[in-house]
Amino acid sequence: MKSSFAKICAAAALIAGLVLSQVPAHANDAQSNTKGGNIKAGRVVFLHQCAGCHSNLAGVDRFGPTLQGVYGRKAGTAPHHLYSHAMAASGIVWNDHTLNGFLTNPHVDLPGTIMPYRGLASAAARANVIAYLRSISPDHAN
C-alpha cells in the first residue's frame, strides 16, 4: 500500500515537474523580433487571454471582432463588428510590429480603444500569440 502510494506520488511529482519545466522554456524564449514565435504556445496564450472576447473563426464575433484573418488586415474592418472610433480611424495594418505594440499595452498604443485588456507584459508571450494569429490568417500563414 505504502509503496504504491509512493509510486503515485513520484508519478505526480514527475508530471508536475514536466508541466513546470514547460513554462520557463517558453518564458526564456524572449525575443524582440516577434517572427519565430511558437504557434502552439501562442494558441495557449490565445485560449487563456483572448478567446473570452475573440473567436478564431471567420465571421464569429464575440465582444471583440474575430481574429481569424487579423494578420494583414486593416484595423477596424472585420465585418459586423462595432469598433471604437479610435480603432476604425487608426489606419493601422496588423503585422508583427503593430500587433506587438498594441498587445504590449492597448490603451497606451491606441488611446480611445475599447478593448478592455491591460496587455501582455511578456515579449515571448506576445511573439507566440502573434505567430498564432498569423497562422489563423490564411493569406499570411507560413
- Alpha-carbon distance of 79 to 58, in angstroms, equals 10
Alpha carbons 2 and 7: distance in angstroms, whole number: 9
Determine the interface stretch with ligand HEC among 8-16, 24-32, 36-44, 79-87 (rule: CB under 6 A). Answer: 79-87
100 class by beta-carbon count within 10 Å (0-12 exposed, 13-18 middle, 19+ buried): buried
State in angstroms the smallest separation of the CB of 16 from ligand HEC: 26
Residue 138 touches ligand HEC, criterion: CB under 6 A: no
Whether residue 108 contacts residue 118, with contact meaning beta carbons closer than 8 Å, is answered with: no
Backbone conformation region of residue 36, classed left if phi is above 0, alpha if psi is from -120 to 50, else beta = left
131 in contact with ligand HEC (CB under 6 A): no
Q: Which stretch binds ligand HEC (CB under 6 A): 8-16, 20-28, 29-37, 108-116?
A: 108-116
Q: Least Å distance between CB 99 and ligand HEC?
A: 6
Say how many residues touch ligand HEC, by CB under 6 A: 27
Among 39, 123, 124, 129, which residue interacts with ligand HEC (rule: CB under 6 A)?
A: 129
